């Protein structure tokens, strides 16, 4: 059996620090989240401010998502909408439904602290702090609820996946690439303009959104996808990302 560290070593792109600075690492959100809130103010009251959410062009869309998922009334409808992770956890829809019904009252936490999945758990405390305060600014998170998200962005406590349905019956993995193409504006494009390479560390349901982000970044010269390691992907990608980012501190 190949050890994780061997897989890590074999999959690393040999990037120099000056190349890493010009590389945008795209990662996905996490099904595992901390329910703690750094801010007790309701997320919905601060999301329209650029200090709390950089890409304001998506604000109205995020409010539409908030309105839709918080207003699902019946269990029957919820069971049909929350299809993500259906086979891994057939009862996940109940948890998602109950959490999202409370979205309007949710406090806020920075994205890098909200997500607690395998990838995020591999990040050194110094890397986490640098991502949280913006010292490191070459990571972009794709969120099924919040869309293109910086680690510094403040997000609510929610439960949504790219396998869940939107109001028109289409999965979010289909909707988000369309929304990114439609709504990406100056804030998003100016951010992307500072990079020359995109390195994607996401599962298959998030790749269409990552490709839409690449399309919005007309200056990108190189595009890479990290190899998949099935159940170990998140852990190994987290170790890879941690090594890259530590070299910049």
The reported pLDDT for the residue numbered 147 is 98
Distance CA 24, CA 27 (A): 10
**199-212 pLDDT, tens per residue?**
999 999 999 999 99
The residues spanned by each domain of the chain are 4-29+36-246
The reported pLDDT for the residue numbered 14 is 87
Site of tokens 């207003």:
71
pLDDT means per 10 residues in the chain (249 residues)? Answer: 68 88 97 94 96 97 98 96 91 97 97 97 97 98 98 98 98 98 96 96 96 92 90 92 95
The reported pLDDT for the residue numbered 3 is 56
The reported pLDDT for the residue numbered 219 is 86
The reported pLDDT for the residue numbered 9 is 80
The reported pLDDT for the residue numbered 117 is 96
């Amino acid at each position: 059996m190949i050890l994780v560290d061997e897989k890590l070593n074999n999959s690393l792109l040999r990037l120099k620090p000056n190349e890493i600075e010009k590389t945008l690492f795209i990662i996905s959100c996490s099904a595992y989240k901390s329910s703690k809130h750094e801010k007790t103010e309701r997320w919905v009251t601060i999301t329209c401010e650029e200090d709390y959410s950089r890409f304001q062009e998506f604000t109205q869309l995020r409010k539409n998502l908030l309105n839709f998922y918080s207003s699902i009334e019946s269990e029957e409808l919820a069971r049909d909408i929350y299809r993500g992770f259906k086979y891994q956890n057939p009862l996940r829809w109940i948890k998602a439904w109950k959490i999202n019904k409370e979205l309007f009252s949710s406090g806020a936490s920075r994205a890098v602290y909200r997500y607690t999945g395998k990838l995020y758990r591999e990040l050194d405390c110094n890397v986490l702090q640098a991502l949280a305060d913006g010292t490191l600014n070459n990571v972009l998170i794709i969120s099924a609820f919040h869309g293109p998200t910086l680690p510094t962005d403040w997000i609510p406590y929610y439960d949504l996946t790219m396998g869940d349905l939107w109001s028109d019956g289409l999965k979010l993995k289909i909707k988000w690439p369309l929304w990114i193409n439609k709504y990406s504006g100056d804030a998003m494009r100016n951010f992307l303009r500072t990079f020359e390479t995109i390195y994607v560390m996401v599962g298959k349901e998030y790749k269409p959104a990552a490709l839409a982000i690449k399309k919005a970044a007309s200056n990108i010269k190189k595009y890479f996808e990290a190899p998949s390691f099935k159940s170990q992907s998140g852990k190994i990608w987290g170790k890879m990302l941690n090594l890259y980012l530590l070299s910049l501190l």
